[in-house]
Structure 1
Amino acid sequence: MANVSVAAEWQLLGDRYYRKPDLYHPLRWKHIDLSRNKVACAPFGGPIALIRDDSKIVQLYAESALRKLRIFNSAGVPLSDTIWKNPGGRLIGLSWTDDQTLVCIVQDGTVYRYTAHAEPLEPNFSILGQEYLDENVVECVFWGNGVVCVTDACKVFSIADFKSKSPRPLRLADPAPEGIEELPHCVAVIEPQYTMSGNVEVLLAIGDGVVMVEEDEVQPLPLPPGDGPLQKMVVSGDGRFVASFTHDGRMAVYSTRFEKIFEYECESALPPEQLAWCGLDSVLLYWDDMLLMVGPSDEPVRYLYDEPIVLIPECDGVRILSNSSIEFLQLVPNSTVSIFKIGSTSPAALLYDALDHFDRRSAKADENLRLIRSSLSEAVEACVDAAGHEFDVSRQRTLLRAASYGQAFCSNFHRDRIQEMCKTLRVLNAVRSPEIGIPLSIQQYKLLTPSVLIGRLINAHQHLLALRISDYLGMNQEVVIMHWACSKITASLAIPDATLLEILLDKLKLCKGISYAAVAAHADKNGRRKLAAMLVEHEPRSSKQVPLLLSIGEEDTALIKATESGDTDLVYLVLFHILQKRQPLEFFGMIQAKTLARDLFIIYARCYKHEFLKDFFLSTGQLQEVAFLIWKESWELGKNPMASKGSPLHGPRIKLTEKAHNLFSETKEHTFESKAAEEHAKLLRIQHELEVTTKQAIFVDSSISDTIRTCIVLGNHRAAMKVKTEFKVSEKRWYWLKIFALATIRDWDALEKFSKEKRPPIGYRPFVEACIEADEKGEALKYIPKLTDPRERAESYARIGMAKEAADAASQAKDGELLGRLKLTLAQNAAASSIFDTLRDRLSFQGVS
């Protein structure tokens, strides 16, 4: 009998069964007449928005003349309302986007948006733009997150995505460039996800034909003869078909290129008030007292209503909203048909019947099980699937009991399947309760996904249920708790900060790793800076904590937290922030005691802020550091060629170096640096003078030795002597420098004269070396005989190729190793080699004796 009562509620359309269970009856609202209102119902069991229709003359009962935008859940429970005071003319259309934002478009093209709590969202904008302010919107067609509007001049505009930060209106191609006399009879939209171009395609029934309007072209579509003009059009949920109502009372289904697939002749030529697809298998037409369901068969199904209704298409059916109830018209699932169809002998029906016998302690239960032994797993699966599609909780329970009963005798059935379905149904039953009012079917739930459902629950401020579902499904609860905390802060302006902090922490600690900083940021945004500061103290992640502390003005705490973290990037973030906010002396005082912050600032300032760094060192009494910086500046200045020009007494480099000397001299620990800076300044001054007098920029930044050498090369012996005297150059160094400088300019007479001034303190070997390097053997012979060491004489003679003299000198030295080296030096001279061999033999003989 149970099977008969279930199937008795179905209607047969062709070979398919349809059912229309009540989701909520009666609805919780009072004194609502849909015929007096414009209505927008969100898909997936979303909220319902109502506003009195200003295009109709209606009688006002005990109500204000002010129009109200009212929002209810699907069970008719009031959620919010607000006074409708938006100017711009008549309200043309309203609809919900995918993220449950209510979009309202008025006659002048202005778009107003509201949350599900009737809170306005800024900014408002016009879909027509500044160029078309004199035109009016006459029709809107919404889809997902977009809309298409048609103006009274037959211009078409679209917005592709309301979710973007700045929705951009776009004018589509003009459907009739030459101008037309009449507006389209109806408009339909093919969503971008179903078009080849990825852009919206708009179908306009103009005259006796149809045109497809895109962004840059208009394409006429051939309509079968006699079908035009079309009075209504609607595109199927998958974007493949178009259902339409013709001028002569026929309901026709076409492809999107208007090739006819099916038609049905209705009893009335009056266009229906609403036309909608029921899934992908049938089309609904609604007149003021009748709902006609037409499918691919000759006999439609009729439903009579004595009150106005609104059709709400869903992915797997249509919700039917009336003044008193909401129903769901859907195709009966195959699993449900197999169980409850009158006379069904399918394995699933026999399993369901077996449970009934088992409950009545009848032996026929075992007989049924034996009959379906080979198909038991399919029967169990059908019962589980049918339970998922049921809205009646007792029937869900019975079907799941039948599945569980069959599973006990079925070893190859996936054991977790029933458990998973129980979980899903518990979630669905929880959100279907009238207080929540989200009547999702299982197919809608799978398409929507649990995470989106959680998001919708928290947006509806159903945080407790969202938290329980998240916990039940093993999902991350952070999103729910975060949203709850932010909502609590917004709604608890009268609660003291300390009290509210305890309430928040009690819940926030439930979720490990939750972002206290994000909650604190919300508190700061709501003007509760003290609460924000207390909350951010509990944030364990410095990367989240420090930026927020800066945003709420807690620079000192932010610097402490950043340095404690050891993260140099965070420390620099705080330093740069404080640099912009505080005076230099205050900034210096903040970082002086914080080693990491101070060191990082110094590293940065050495590269980019020398003057600022000097101020810091001066404020902390580190004169030597200032001196080093100034000295470095003088060297940097030296890289500029212009730094060596101009007056030697007022050159900027000399001034900087002298300033460094003065600063170094004020500290006892930097005597060497002080002396070095003093001498460097003196040398620079002399070099500047030399460059001015010689008019050659070749002295600055050379060493003392190079300066002396250059002076001698240029013949300025007086200047060279002055440098020697000023810097107390030793005699030995002076001789070396002058010898090789004179050899460089090949002034051999001056070199000889210099050698005779007095006995050279470095001996005569450098004279010999200079002459040999200049390849002047004759000049070298002037000095070789003066060498006192016979070894040096021998080597020098050998280097200029005088073998006999080298041999004589070597024999005086009595050094066998020296003779060997000299032989190698003069290896090409056979006679010389013979001489050295004879000498070495003689030395060897003498050594033996």
Structure 2
Amino acid sequence: MIENPCFNWEKLQDIFYRNREICGLEWPSIDKQQKQQHETVFSTSTVVISTPDTIEIFDYTGSLLLSLSKKKFGEIVKLEFNENEELVIVTSKTINVVKNYLPLEIEEFDVSNKLNGAIWDYKNGTILTKETQDIYQVLNNDKLNLLYKNEGSFTILTKNHWNCNLNKIILLDINDVLEFVIEKRILSNILKSQWHRVEISNSGFVCLYNLKFNKLRVFKDPSTALLEHDLEVIPTDIKWCSDDSIVCSFTDEIKIYGPGNTYISFWYPNNITSIATEIDGLKVITKEKVHLVSRVPQSTANIFRIGSTEPAAILLDSLDLLSNHAPKSIANLRLIDLKVAVLECIDAAKHEFDITIQKKLLSAAAFGKASLDKNTFDSNIFVEACRLITLLNTIRSYGFFITIDEYCHMKSGRILNLLLTRHKYYEAVKVCELLNDASKFSILFKHWAVSKIRLSSDMEDDELLTIIKNQLKVIKFSEMISLNDIVHVSYLEGRFKLAKGIALMERNPQLKIVELLEMDENNVALEEALKTNCPELVLSFLLKCQTSLTLSQFTKLLTLDMPDNQLFLYSQSFLHEEFLFDYYRQTDRFFDLGQLILEQSKKQRTIQPFLSQIKDLYNHYQHDHLLKHEVDLFKKEESLWKYQDNLSGIFNENFNELSLGATLGKLIEMKQDRYVHELVKEFKISDKRFYHTKCKVLIDGKRFDELQQFASERRSPIGYLPFYKYLMKKKYEKEAVIYINMISGISYEQKKKMYLECNSYQEAVQIAKKERDIGGLREIFKLVPADQTHLKKLINEIIGAI
């Protein structure tokens, strides 16, 4: 039977608060005499102690994480943690953020030239300058935004006389309380009274303290005080418990104040040295222990409150009765809303530190869940809660004493970053395994590898590469880990061999090639690109190299690493002609150079000036059997170009750049029969080609009589079907009819179809009559226009006669 945790609760009006011990005090304790020269700053997971000479950073287990000499920074104005739990060291001229402990990495932001004066104070990313007391906001640790230029609007006497959250700033002038709304950039006087200290919560509640009268005032709307208290003893400190309860600390007790002069106290056996606000409570640090004061969640109060009859309390009692009074235990379940009871037990378990209580509550939830219909309760809620509680207990065992609310606020990524910053890689692996998130393993491996490289100056590249390669083999989700950041760090550290080796381990081919290119490993990068068998990737790589390398370097890359690869021949169309000229010259590719000159001259319509140069280049290949056909073809083209040049001079018409067929067609069009026969004979144009060309030219020129004469001169080597098709293509149906009967080797049906396509119904009727095709005649009858009555009559007579 576990002890009821409510015995340590205190009730303020209708809200319970509890004090729980987090851990023992493992770092050096600061007493009252030392406080003048020492300062302690707390975050959720880290403690900073500032001594006269050093800044020492501890975790909650007492391990010294880092010790910094103050001489490095000069006059320190403020120590504070940012939202990422990184220590911010503010001097009068700079803002320094400790990004990593080992190797030490500090980002410095020099503001001396950006501020009107030196930094006087810094809170939550807001700066108050020394001389003018202007207000600035720091953005992303490297930019300043002037919020308000103080031209005598207020005077802040001490650093306790102002405070801020992310939304507004409260300023205590000598006799006024001013509020500055950051978003609206509006400064307004909200109270006419004197106060000496201000604390503002994240949700906007403001607590004012008057030292003279030892008085507290809390409000959100300045016109309405939520509570006012006259204190009996001057407090040693004032902080918010979470963001809606104000706490004063005294020698060995704290008091939480509520409306109507109500308050509750928590006493401690040792003197209190510090208090610090947390997202869901208040840390109380004594000389020996660290405690957390927080609200009791409603689910927890419902279960453990003395005399509670809430469903969750009855469910927990039923679990206790199960072993000895099973019937009564089961009967109790019928009296309550079982789903509500199960959910409250699960929620309460998440908020507990004590593993025994967690197990008891989860057992009760499992007991109740077993009696619920699967359609009314999602079992994944219970499974996820168990996973989350296991994760929280694991994190706490590593010295991060966080609550469920703090975990939800920090997120798992920040927890992982804190572990990595402290080089707790084994612990980080365990957290990643519980999260089962591939992206977290990637972050973990990159941080480990980068730290290993930077801290292993005595190790050779080969040894380091072997260690990194072996770790990559065993880590989970290794196939999803990108190595580009590790390659980059290796390269910057001067470990070029290591950088190349890690780059070759990269699984993503695009990233691998980019990494190798950045290291000027062009030959290796090309080799890896070719291994992918991806033409697009190889071409992209070549185009990138073309812009980044000199001509000689690029030529060398192509000739040595891909001499026989046909992809480059395809890629020529993407490259500049200027490059191709130089490339072909350097590689003695005279035939390709000749082809390039020829293509360029054709585009410019100036072939003749380049013929001798092209001929000289082709002469290198007279005895090359593979290119003999190409050389012979060029010689024929050369003859044609000379002949065309002669024709251009004779007829004063431009024959240049025309193909052989186009030249023949033009001469036929010009009716130059003598030159037509000469061209046919000179260039051995076949009869079939001649007939096709002349047929097209005569039809295009509507020279139908000449066409008919040409068709009947002698038997056509191409037959007469092309005549018909060329005419029909031009919509000359009447002329096409002449050639249907001349076409040999076609069936009756094909011939009838041709006549009908030409709208020659009379001829179609005659061949149908000859074939005694009644069905064909009836088909023709339907197609004959209505105005050709004599033809319809003829068809009917023929059908009747058949």
Q: TM-score, normalised by structure 2?
A: 0.72
- C-alpha contact (below 8 Å) 1:591/1:597 kept by paired residues: no
2:513 is the alignment partner of 1:549: no
- C-alpha contact (below 8 Å) 2:126/2:135 kept by paired residues: no
Q: Give secondary structure in 2 for the equivalent of 1:545.
A: helix
Partner of 2:82: 97
Q: 1:231 to 1:410 in 2, by over 3 A?
A: same
Partner of 1:9: 8
2:270 is the alignment partner of 1:299: no
Aligned residues: CA RMSD: 4.7
Q: Give secondary structure in 2 for the equivalent of 1:21.
A: strand
Partner of 2:145: 170
Q: Give secondary structure in 2 for the equivalent of 1:590.
A: helix
Paired AA for residue 38 in structure 2: N
Paired AA for residue 147 in structure 2: L
Residues in 1 aligned to 2:391 and 2:303: alpha-carbon distance in whole angstroms: 24
2:600 is the alignment partner of 1:633: yes
Q: 1:451 to 1:182 in 2, by over 3 A?
A: closer
Q: Give secondary structure in 1 for the equivalent of 2:239.
A: strand
Identity across the alignment (%): 21
Residue 132 of structure 2 is aligned with which of 126, 142, 153? Answer: 153
Residue 450 of structure 2 is aligned with which of 486, 504, 527? Answer: 486
Partner of 1:420: 384
Residues in 2 aligned to 1:179 and 1:314: alpha-carbon distance in whole angstroms: 31
Residue 588 of structure 2 is aligned with which of 614, 618, 621? Answer: 621
Partner of 1:663: 617
Residues in 2 aligned to 1:471 and 1:41: alpha-carbon distance in whole angstroms: 29
- C-alpha contact (below 8 Å) 2:103/2:451 kept by paired residues: no
State the 1:22 CA deviation.
0.9
Partner of 2:353: 391
Paired AA for residue 549 in structure 1: L
Partner of 2:558: 591
Q: Give secondary structure in 2 for the equivalent of 1:449.
A: helix
- Superposition map of 1:517-666 within 5 A: 517-518=483-484, 519-576=486-543, 578-579=545-546, 584-585=551-552, 587-592=554-559, 599-638=566-605, 655-666=609-620
Residues in 2 aligned to 1:269 and 1:677: alpha-carbon distance in whole angstroms: 113
Partner of 1:792: none
**Unmatched 5+ stretches in structure 2:** 623-627, 667-671, 680-697, 704-712, 714-741, 743-802
Partner of 2:203: 238
Partner of 1:126: 110
- Superposition map of 1:65-104 within 5 A: 67-89=53-75, 91-104=76-89
Residues in 1 aligned to 2:67 and 2:646: alpha-carbon distance in whole angstroms: 86
State the 1:347 CA deviation.
4.2
- Superposition map of 1:32-47 within 5 A: 35=35, 36-42=37-43, 45-47=44-46
Residues in 2 aligned to 1:507 and 1:537: alpha-carbon distance in whole angstroms: 16
Residues in 1 aligned to 2:496 and 2:601: alpha-carbon distance in whole angstroms: 49
Residues in 1 aligned to 2:468 and 2:153: alpha-carbon distance in whole angstroms: 65
2:226 is the alignment partner of 1:262: yes
**Alpha-carbon deviations, 1:540-565, whole Å to 9, x = none?**
33112212222334322211110121
State the 1:152 CA deviation.
2.9
State the 1:661 CA deviation.
3.1
- C-alpha contact (below 8 Å) 1:71/1:79 kept by paired residues: yes
Residues in 2 aligned to 1:410 and 1:623: alpha-carbon distance in whole angstroms: 86
State the 1:441 CA deviation.
0.7
Residues in 1 aligned to 2:386 and 2:216: alpha-carbon distance in whole angstroms: 42
Q: 1:735 to 1:157 in 2, by over 3 A?
A: same
State the 1:30 CA deviation.
3.6
Q: 1:281 to 1:580 in 2, by over 3 A?
A: closer
Paired AA for residue 41 in structure 1: F
Partner of 2:709: none
Partner of 2:20: 21
2:374 is the alignment partner of 1:374: no
Q: 1:281 to 1:488 in 2, by over 3 A?
A: same
Q: Which has the larger radius of gyration?
A: 1
Task: Name the count of aligned residue pairs.
Answer: 679
Residue 278 of structure 1 is aligned with which of 237, 241, 250? Answer: 241
Q: 1:152 to 1:407 in 2, by over 3 A?
A: same
Q: Give secondary structure in 2 for the equivalent of 1:571.
A: helix
State the 1:282 CA deviation.
1.2
- C-alpha contact (below 8 Å) 1:127/1:157 kept by paired residues: no
State the 1:242 CA deviation.
1.9
- Superposition map of 1:606-755 within 5 A: 606-638=573-605, 655-668=609-622, 669=628, 670-674=631-635, 676-677=637-638, 680=641, 731-733=674-676
Partner of 1:454: 416
Residues in 2 aligned to 1:262 and 1:597: alpha-carbon distance in whole angstroms: 85
Partner of 1:475: 437
Residues in 2 aligned to 1:161 and 1:531: alpha-carbon distance in whole angstroms: 33
Residues in 1 aligned to 2:356 and 2:503: alpha-carbon distance in whole angstroms: 49
State the 1:190 CA deviation.
3.9
Paired AA for residue 517 in structure 1: L
Q: 1:324 to 1:526 in 2, by over 3 A?
A: farther
Residues in 1 aligned to 2:7 and 2:642: alpha-carbon distance in whole angstroms: 111
Residues in 2 aligned to 1:69 and 1:46: alpha-carbon distance in whole angstroms: 17
Deviates more, 1:175-184 or 1:92-101: 175-184
Residues in 1 aligned to 2:356 and 2:245: alpha-carbon distance in whole angstroms: 29
Q: TM-score, normalised by structure 1?
A: 0.69
Q: 1:634 to 1:13 in 2, by over 3 A?
A: same
Residues in 2 aligned to 1:534 and 1:235: alpha-carbon distance in whole angstroms: 54
Partner of 1:515: 481
**Unmatched 5+ stretches in structure 1:** 55-66, 192-199, 639-651, 711-728, 737-768, 775-788, 790-816, 818-849
Q: 1:582 to 1:337 in 2, by over 3 A?
A: closer
- C-alpha contact (below 8 Å) 1:339/1:349 kept by paired residues: yes
- Superposition map of 1:750-761 within 5 A: none
- C-alpha contact (below 8 Å) 1:209/1:221 kept by paired residues: no
**Alpha-carbon deviations, 1:332-364, whole Å to 9, x = none?**
122222333234344433443454555xx644x
